Structure 1
Amino acid sequence: MPNTFVIGAAKSGTTSLYDYLRQHPDVFMSPVKEPCYFAYRQNPPEMAGPGDREANRESGVVYTMNEYEALFSGARGEAIVGEASPVYLYDQDAPRLLHEQCPGASLIAILRNPIVRAHSHYLQLVQSGREPLDRFEAALDAEDERVAAGWEWSWHYRRMGLYGRQLARYLDYFDRDQLHIYRFDELTTNPAGFAKTVYRMLGVDPSFTPDTGVRRRATGVPQFDWLHRFIGTPDHFLRRWSRLVLPEAVRDRILMAVRNANLQKPPLPDAARARLVDAYRDDVRRLEALLDRSFSDWLTTDDDRIADDG
């Protein structure tokens, strides 16, 4: 079983951290990035939203212990064995279930301004063609109805940013020194330095330098739909040809660069920002009390100037 979990938050750099961890020779990360097992084992979502079932099937979510344990069969004595499922921070059952199976685990959370995080998650679903509403505020209006109807957690834009409430649940089961909390801007300002900080915390060689040059989860609205579809179609004849002539790392870097350049990021509407400032104010205060650290800048500034990554 794993001894390390990246528990969230969604759209806050978990994909980058997963990549940096799995590159380290003393770390084994599950080949499926988001198995979500400890969130879905007892109470799987209804998957009633547009594309929910397909998205979760394609992402490799697992529901049984046998499937979950199989994800770590490739471990060969690495000091750190882990996985990254950002739904764990949000899910109500995950802290208890994680503690039952892995009470001594290290838990890593990256916290992003919840206002910007909510907008980024909305843009991700717009980008994938799943979000039918073309206004962020309309999606916020629809959230309660969607949750009641059984749409999966990605649609819970506002709720997923209530970090104070979510971390309090973990502190009911885990000691504070088992939770390692970072801010999103720590990762984006100096990715390699951030990776080394995490390596050091986990007790593996901090001198190892990962490749931090590829942004895999940038969000936005595609300028050219045909180009976005091409990048997302592995069986396209040009994609097949590229596999014959280009090394995988080069191919991957080119595709991600083209994909990200094709994305435009609409600004967060002022009215939606003001609305979410009010919605998050009390929870930010709760988070500050839990961690003895200030997050008041989230309520007054826009941190969306830095790279967007999930």
Structure 2
Amino acid sequence: MSADECKSGVLPNLLLGGPGRTGTTSLFAYLSSHPLVCGSQKKETGYFLNPLFNQPLAPIETYTKLFAGFTGQKYVLEATPAYLLGGRKVADAIKKVLGDFRVVFILRDPVERYISGYWHIRSKVLQDESLTCDDYLTRSLGVTIESLQGFDDLHYAILVEGKYADYLEQWYEVAGEDSIYIMFYDDLVRDQPETLRELLAWLHLPPEGIAERMPHSNKALQVRSSTMQQLARAIVKNGEPFLLRHPNLKRALSEIYYAVNSKGKRETCPPRIRSYLEDYYREPNRRLGVLLREKNTPQLPGWLVEY
């Protein structure tokens, strides 16, 4: 159900908590298209991130207005990919404001996610084609949870964000196992229709009236023109409520943009960067595997099986 069809003052009971570069934009669009789901007027509200920066929440009215038009749908949805990284600080704030809620996390091989995140930050966020893999890694290594002071710092938090177990443990302690659903990016790639059916079943949502697949959104790419990229970002930012109401139009415009402003074959990060990342995430992945097995998570992906 589109955002403008959704009563002022309502609060969400379903969150997509990230992390970034895992398909949260596409999943948000997909779930928002369900007749029993009211999606926020903009996908990434970021409302509960302030505690991560040791700042108070904004007035609640700034949040509830994003769900104006709600008419009794089963779920009210928002998606902010950095919620996972916020761990206990963010989870506690959400619990205090929302009460009972459900949250979905999509986990992806942190090495692949980091590399995808680098290209996204370089081309779409910072729009700095001179930013090398080495430069980005050097900046990222200086970031800790304690050092985060604002939203801009999140551009370099992708590395530390990949230590999923550190944050998931805190989320489980605050929200409880029954309120958390773990998806794997690998499953969305391998068998998206079945993976989405399993999610709908967990949400007790009928599959009728919704597509079998998600729209493909927010691709990482190298751009030909930074000016065109800036124009596209402005259009998306100002027109997001309208585009969320017309997903087919958004999809068509996105494909035209990718065709016109993508360089096509993308550069690759040096092999030594990948080797470093594999070593960096070895112990965090081991702890994640232990945690998910404790929670009886079925069918762990290949990047976790060895742990």
Question: TM-score range with shorter-chain normalisation?
Answer: 0.7 to 0.9
Corresponding residue SS for 1:108: strand
Gaps of 5+ in 2: 1-10, 237-245
Alignment CA distance shift 1:226-1:4 (3 Å):
closer
Task: Give the counterpart of 1:120 among 106, 116, 122.
Answer: 116
Is 1:138 the equivalent of 2:135?
yes
Corresponding residue SS for 1:82: strand
Partner of 2:192: 191
Output the aligned Cα RMSD.
3.0
* Equivalent-residue separation in structure 2 for 1:127 and 1:121 (angstroms): 10
Partner of 1:51: none
Corresponding residue SS for 2:174: coil
**Relative CO higher for 1 or 2, CA cutoff 8 Å, sep ≥ 6?**
1
Which range is displaced more, 62-71 or 13-22? Answer: 62-71
Partner of 1:10: 20
Q: Within 5 A, what are the aligned runs for 1:36-75?
A: 36-40=46-50, 43=53, 63-75=58-70
Q: Deviations over 1:9-59 (max 9, x none)?
A: 1110000110011000001111111111111257368xxxxxxxxxxxxxx
Is 1:269 the equivalent of 2:270?
yes
Partner of 1:77: 72
Task: Give the counterpart of 1:88 among 83, 89, 99.
Answer: 83
Partner of 1:102: 98
Which range is displaced more, 272-281 or 93-102? Answer: 93-102
Partner of 1:202: 203
Partner of 2:33: 23
* Equivalent-residue separation in structure 2 for 1:249 and 1:227 (angstroms): 21
The answer on whether the counterparts of 1:220 and 1:266 sit within 8 Å (CA) in structure 2 is no
Shift of 1:284: 0.8
The answer on whether the counterparts of 1:103 and 1:174 sit within 8 Å (CA) in structure 2 is no
Report the residue type matching 1:73 in the other structure.
A
Shift of 1:67: 0.7
Alignment CA distance shift 1:232-1:66 (3 Å):
closer
Q: Within 5 A, what are the aligned runs for 1:221-300?
A: 221-223=222-224, 225=226, 228=229, 231-232=232-233, 234=235, 251-261=249-259, 262-263=262-263, 264-292=265-293, 297-298=302-303
Shift of 1:120: 1.1
Which range is displaced more, 84-93 or 181-190? Answer: 181-190
Report the residue type matching 2:203 in the other structure.
L
Q: Deviations over 1:243-291 (max 9, x none)?
A: xxxxx66643332113334254333431111111111111111111111
Alignment CA distance shift 1:41-1:72 (3 Å):
farther
Report the residue type matching 2:256 in the other structure.
V
Gaps of 5+ in 1: 46-61, 236-247, 302-310
Percent identity at matched positions? 23
Report the residue type matching 2:101 in the other structure.
A
Which range is displaced more, 288-297 or 106-115? Answer: 288-297
Report the residue type matching 2:19 in the other structure.
A
Shift of 1:127: 0.9
* Equivalent-residue separation in structure 2 for 1:192 and 1:13 (angstroms): 14
- TM-score normalised by the chain length of structure 2: 0.78
The answer on whether the counterparts of 1:114 and 1:298 sit within 8 Å (CA) in structure 2 is no
Report the residue type matching 1:64 in the other structure.
P
Partner of 2:4: none
* Equivalent-residue separation in structure 2 for 1:9 and 1:149 (angstroms): 16
How many residues end up aligned between the 2 structures?
275
Alignment CA distance shift 1:32-1:173 (3 Å):
same
* Equivalent-residue separation in structure 1 for 2:301 and 2:205 (angstroms): 33
The answer on whether the counterparts of 2:148 and 2:154 sit within 8 Å (CA) in structure 1 is no
Q: Deviations over 1:205-234 (max 9, x none)?
A: 123332746422001212455664564564
Corresponding residue SS for 1:109: strand
The answer on whether the counterparts of 2:22 and 2:185 sit within 8 Å (CA) in structure 1 is yes
- TM-score normalised by the chain length of structure 1: 0.78
Alignment CA distance shift 1:70-1:252 (3 Å):
closer
* Equivalent-residue separation in structure 2 for 1:89 and 1:16 (angstroms): 18
